[in-house]
Amino acid sequence: MKIFSTLYRYALEWSRHPRAPWFLGVLSFTESSFFPIPPDVMLAPMCLANPRRAWWFAFLTMATSVLGGVFGYIIGLYAFSAIEPFLRESQYWPSYQVAVQWFQKWGFSAVFVAGFSPIPYKVFTIAAGAMSMTFAPFVLASAIGRGARFFLVAGLMAWGGARMETALHRYVDRIGWVTVALVAVYILARQ
């Protein structure tokens, strides 16, 4: 299934636009609470095109992603009953149920893992609010998880150059699914 490569192509187009940093910020914010396209696929080509600004792009992505996560938390805290029917009918309901189980077992670690991995982070932000997770640890776990992920992407692109971008484009679907599988193995091993 080529989900990741299709999204990657669209994000590549956005990354070349003169207002790309604004698009990156908006994409990062919305992906953390409701939008399905991950910001990595826009961050990577932007860092490749301008390696000297890679760390700034990573910081921008992390900061707006955490702000979007706070928005998701607020949705879960104050409006979960309004979105629950939609969530139950969506593809995210099973992920939401997993998120609830993770919060019951691991709390902070659940947010960190969701922030770093390709697991739908938005589901965890909403679940954190719905379960009234303490706000400061939620923000800290989000910042650490999202920061580690986005600074890693920026660093690899700045260091690897065009070869890294070509490899990423060729293997983005495999990398995405392997990461999902590794997270699933991690979860099963912790039970």
In angstroms and rounded to an integer, the radius of gyration of the C-alpha atoms of the chain is 16
Q: 121-130 and 108-116 are packed helices; what angle lies between their axes, rounded to 10 degrees? A: 160
- The residue behind tokens 């019951």 is 104
pLDDT confidence band for 172 (50 / 70 / 90)? low
Mean model confidence pLDDT for the chain: 83
Q: Which two tokens stand for residue 119?
A: 């697991």
Instruction: Give the residue among 34, 31, 33 at the shortest CA–CA distance from 42.
Output: 31
> Does position 188 have pLDDT exceeding 70, yes or no?
no
> Does position 125 have pLDDT exceeding 80, yes or no?
yes
User: Quick one: average pLDDT of 154-165?
Assistant: 81
pLDDT tens profile 62-83: 999 999 999 999 999 999 999 8
Better-predicted residue by pLDDT, 127 or 191: 127
Helices (H), the chain: 3-15, 20-31, 40-49, 54-89, 93-105, 108-116, 121-130, 135-190
> Does position 148 have pLDDT exceeding 60, yes or no?
yes
> Does position 127 have pLDDT exceeding 80, yes or no?
yes
The DSSP code for 119 is: S
User: Kindly report the CA angle at 81 between 100 and 146, in degrees rounded to 5?
Assistant: 45
Give the CA-trace dihedral at 153, 18, 11, 75, to 10 degrees.
80
pTM: 0.78
pLDDT confidence band for 106 (50 / 70 / 90)? confident
List all residues 6 or more positions away from 41 whose beta carbon is below 8 Å from its beta carbon.
4, 7, 8, 10, 11, 12, 172
CA atoms of 144 and 159, how far apart (whole Å) = 22
> Does position 155 have pLDDT exceeding 80, yes or no?
yes
End-to-end Cα spacing for the chain: 29
